Each structure stands twice: as structure tokens, then as C-alpha cells.
Amino acid sequence: MSFILGIFFGFVAWFVVRCVLTGFYTVEQNERAVITTLGRAQRIKGKSTLDLPIAEHLSDEHKPRYTFPQVRVVGPGGPYVKMPWQRVHKVSIAIETASIAYDPEDPTVNRNWTVLEAVTKDQLNIGVTGQLRFKVSERNLYAYLFGVKNPVAHIMGYFVSILRERIANFEAKRGDGVALEELDNAIMEGGNPQIEGVSINDLRKNLNELNEQMNRECLSSAARYGIELDASLITGIDPPADIDSALAAINTAHNEVSADISLAQAEADQKIEQSKRAVEIQTMRVQAEVEPLRRVAGELLALKQNGGPASLQSYLRNVKLQLFRRARRVITGNSSLSA
């Protein structure tokens, strides 16, 4: 009898602990929760991540690989009730910030999470610094909780692999620089060319473009691993210390050549403007000399139209008389008259 009572009271104690004391839970404002029943998440029937807008950034090849079911998400609030055979998986959806050299599985890599190494297209080993902002995607919690073992490590590896590939193949937009063999043609076409330097210079001058490329490339991370990359903030790209002085000399030479080109082009532009101004002045002078003749021609035409040919002959006679008065000697035929 005592044995049965012991079992009964033990069951009551277990029930109180599992169903009363731990049978309620709450979800904070920056949290979301997923309930599993005997290890299986509560799914939305007939719905998968391919039905969500985040799947638009996946290629047709990757869509079958990253097809995850949509699960029922418990929002902030509570208290909620759960059964003893159920488990609550809470996830923070707050934005987190980490160094781009961060590796949650090994704190000693990348110079203790400070600098990420990469190789440029001209085989230069550089150090990249910056930050990465990310958060858990509320629309794909299944991938984050059950899709991969360590989603943060997975997303960091995904980001680093894309970043290194972009750095290795990065090229500045056309117009930012030209090759030496194209320099003469660019000058003749009236452009303002800059000599193309090593790739690290292109990367430094186009950090915003590199960050934008990374943001576009990582749009599929939410559908892949359940983590949204909020922003890539690459802030520094540094060469190895042993070639820093040589790189500085190359940059100085390039800057000097670019300055000489700019100065020569400015002088040429100034001479062109002066020539244009001189042409305008001469044109205005010619117009000033021609304008009185045009007015006289107009007056003579009006005189002929209004007074007839006789009035025009009278006008010409009067003009000749005025010229005779001013002349000191007049030569007519074979005789010469002096005033």
C-alpha cells in the first residue's frame, strides 16, 4: 500500500513540476518561439519557404536544396501553456553586430577575430576589417533552429567566402581609371583619365560599391540559413607591412602622373577657351562693321520702293556732291580739278 501511495505522490509531484511550475512560458518583445511536440515543430500545412518573398533571391538550382517548411511562430506575450511532451525554442530577433573576422567555433583564427585575410586579383595578400550586422529571420525559423547545427558559424563562413571571391575579382567601374595604353585616346577624347593602379587602390576607393555588392549577394541568406544580413560595413583594407612602403611609392608616382595630366589638360582647356573668346570678339567686330552697311542698303531699298528710281538718282547725286565738297582733287575723264 505504501508503495502505491509513493508512486501516486511521485506522479503528483512530477505533474506539478512539469505541468504547473514549468507548464507556462512567456515570450519577450524581441523574441519569437517555436513549439515542438515530441521533437516535431508545429508546421503550417502545405506551406514552405518557397512561398515566401525571401525565396526570390535563390537560384532555380538552389531552390530544391533550401526548401524548408513554414512553422507556427509564437509572438511576444504570455503566459502560454505547453504540455509536458512539448518543448519551447525561443529565438532572439534583435540585430547583432560582429566583426567580419568573427568565427564562433575558434577564437584564435583571423588574428583573434580582428583581421580577415584575403587575396586580391594581383595576388596581394591584404587584411580586411569591418563589421557585419545580422538578425534571425522570423519568416524562416525552421532553417535557423533545425536546418543547420551552428547557423551563426554557417552564415559567417558564407559571408567570408563571398567576400573573398569579390575581392579576388573586384574591378572598378569603367571611368574610374584607364590603362596606360588607353591614356592617349582618353586625353584626345577630352576625358579626365586617372592611371589605373594596383587592385588594393581600387578597393579602397570603392568601399561603398564593395559593401553594396556584398549586400546584394547575401540577400539569399534568409532563405538558406534563416539569418538576414542587415548590412556589410567594410571599413579598412590594408596591405602587408613588408610592401607598404613600395605600395606608397607606386601610389605617389601614379598621383604625380595624374596631377601632370590634370595640369596639362587644364592648360589646354584654358587655351581653348581663350581661342573661343578671341573668335567671338572678332565675330562681333565684323558684325559691327557690317551692320551699318546693312542699314544703308535697307534705307536705299525703301527709298527706291517709295520714291521710285528718280528719288534714288537724286540721293546718289546729293551723296556725290557731298563727296566733291570734301575732296581736294577730283579726276574726271582726262581732266583734273583741284579744290
The neighbour count for residue 312, using CB atoms within 10 Å, is: 15
- Output DSSP code: residue 94: S
Concatenated DSSP letters of 178-243: B-GGGHHHHHHTT----B---HHHHHHHTHHHHHHHHHHHGGGHHHHHSEEEEEEEEEEEE--GGG
Higher pLDDT, 48 or 178: 48
Q: Is residue 173 classed exposed, middle or buried when 0-12, 13-18 and 19+ CB atoms within 10 A define those classes?
A: exposed
Instruction: Report whether pLDDT(161) > 80.
Output: yes
The cell numbers describing 218, all together, are: 547575401
Question: Cell numbers 588594393 correspond to what residue?
Answer: 200
Stretch 149-175: mean pLDDT: 82
Inter-residue contact 157 to 183 (CB < 8 Å)? no
Q: How confident is the model at residue 33 (pLDDT cuts 50, 70, 90)?
A: very high
pLDDT for res 214: 86
pLDDT for res 3: 66
Question: What is the model's pTM?
Answer: 0.60
The cell numbers describing 194, all together, are: 586617372
The cell numbers describing 162, all together, are: 563571398
Instruction: Report whether pLDDT(181) > 60.
Output: no
Instruction: Report whether pLDDT(69) > 50.
Output: yes
pLDDT digits (tens, 9 = 90+) for 98-121: 898 888 888 888 888 888 888 888
Out of 143-157, 172-186, 211-225, 313-327, least confident range: 172-186
Higher pLDDT, 13 or 59: 59
CATH number of the domain located at residue range(s) 9-170+206-239 in this protein: 3.30.479.30
Higher pLDDT, 189 or 218: 218
Q: Please name which of 212, 108, 202, 205 lies closest in space to residue 163, comparing C-alpha atoms.
A: 212
Alpha-carbon gap, residue 104 to 127, rounded angstroms: 20
Q: How confident is the model at residue 192 (pLDDT cuts 50, 70, 90)?
A: very low
pLDDT digits (tens, 9 = 90+) for 263-309: 888 888 888 888 888 888 888 888 888 888 788 778 777 777 777 77
Higher pLDDT, 281 or 250: 281
Concatenated DSSP letters of 228-261: EEEEEEEEEEE--GGGHHHHHHHHHHHHHHHHHH
Higher pLDDT, 297 or 137: 137
Question: Cell numbers 552697311 correspond to what residue?
Answer: 293
Alpha-carbon gap, residue 142 to 149, rounded angstroms: 12
Instruction: Report whether pLDDT(250) > 70.
Output: no
Q: How confident is the model at residue 21 (pLDDT cuts 50, 70, 90)?
A: low
pLDDT for res 179: 46
Residue 178 one-letter amino acid: V
